[in-house]
Amino acid sequence: MVIAIKLLGYGSINFLISIIMTTISTLYGDLSGVEFRTLYSNGKMDGCLVTQPNTLTTPYGSFVPQYEAEDMGRRSVKPVYFYKDGSLKSIALQSQTILATPVGDIPAELVTFHQNGNIKRVFPLDGKLSGFWSWKNEFALADALTINSPLGTLNAKMIGLQFYESGALKSITLWPGQTLAVKTPVGEVTIRKGLAFYESGAIRSFEPLKKIDIKTPIGTITSYDNEPNGIHGDINSVQLTEDGAIEALCTVDNAVQVSVDEKQDKLFQPGIKNNVCGDERKVSVPMKIRFDKRRVMFNDNQKFSFDLETCLFEVKKMEAIAMKPLFSCSD
């Protein structure tokens, strides 16, 4: 049975949406048991669900798209997506499959691709977090991965890896509690959460596990983000230029006094807020400092951008008036 709805008038593009149960052809082989599909205006398929086993043959091996959720830990059946030219965009796999990547063989449950066919992201697990399935349940299923990175061999439990269109490693995202000891332009650092690279292989950003002192154009600053972005490791608090110079960092330990002229001083410092578990526990809000050519900017606000040559900067030590954040009120 086919139910087709043609929608016109959305700009100059025509859309055709079909709800079907049939077999369709792709660049990678036929898909049977298709539950729905969306067609681009050129007739090429955008995405579809499948309800029975299929095999797609790709340059990276044979993949079986997810057609059922085997247990409460897996997400509901996810569509296979394609680019407008018919090339594969993303695929959730029925079972974990070994994928040959530029950094080594990686087990995968979800893979996305660049339009040129190269791998974009790899997720070893693709679980569904809920009241019955927590990240700790998912973490228990994760195996440590060994990859060949621009820094050499790295081994840890990783949530995902991202690649450039060229195939070069772009970033890795670590599971909570996982760390790596890596050599960086600011010294050997134990990192958490994430590590990102330039396409050349130089370190683009990292997240320190502990506070580290970093020399900057305005003095030595103790760098640490007590509440880092935990979604992915693509962007981290310590950011470097491709030649290894400091580009940005976060601090909860230092204030910076800026003298614009003899009569005007400005003080920039980390903030304070209540912890999520109650007003009695105060925690710091990190201050971000960015160095852009010959300027220094605070908290990514152009209003607070100052010239390195015409202004004076004094780095001051903050008194410890806040505590480490609690993310569980039972801690």
Q: How would residue 231 be classed by pLDDT, with cut points 50, 70 and 90?
A: low
pTM: 0.85
Least confident interval from 29-43, 44-58, 238-252: 29-43
Percent of the chain predicted with pLDDT > 90 = 60
Q: How would residue 79 be classed by pLDDT, with cut points 50, 70 and 90?
A: confident
Residue 70, pLDDT score: 62
Residue 114 has pLDDT above 70, yes or no: yes
The whole-angstrom separation of Cα 150 and Cα 153 is 8
The whole-angstrom separation of Cα 233 and Cα 174 is 7
The whole-angstrom separation of Cα 65 and Cα 72 is 18
**Alpha helices in the chain, H assignment, sequence order:** 135-141
The mean predicted confidence, pLDDT, of the chain is 85
Closest CA to 90 of 121, 68, 69, 135: 121
Least confident interval from 128-132, 141-145, 162-166, 213-217: 128-132
pLDDT digits (tens, 9 = 90+) for 254-264: 999 999 877 67
Question: How distant is the alpha carbon of residue 90 from its chain centre?
Answer: 16
152-159 mean pLDDT? 96
H/E stretch holding 155: strand 152-156
* SS3 category, 137: helix
Most confident listed range (22-36, 99-113, 231-245, 263-277): 99-113
Residue 8, pLDDT score: 37
How many other C-beta atoms are found inside a 10 Å radius of the C-beta of residue 108? 25
Residue 158, pLDDT score: 95
Residue 279, pLDDT score: 58
Residue 41, pLDDT score: 73
Closest CA to 175 of 119, 259, 233: 233
Token pair 């100052």 is at which residue? 306
Least confident interval from 36-50, 162-176, 284-298: 36-50
Q: How would residue 272 be classed by pLDDT, with cut points 50, 70 and 90?
A: confident
How many other C-beta atoms are found inside a 10 Å radius of the C-beta of residue 101? 20
What is the CA angle 201-236-140, rounded to 5?
A: 95
The half-sphere exposure of 79 on its side-chain side, counting CA atoms within 13 A, is 13
The whole-angstrom separation of Cα 274 and Cα 325 is 9
Most confident listed range (78-87, 205-214, 225-234): 205-214
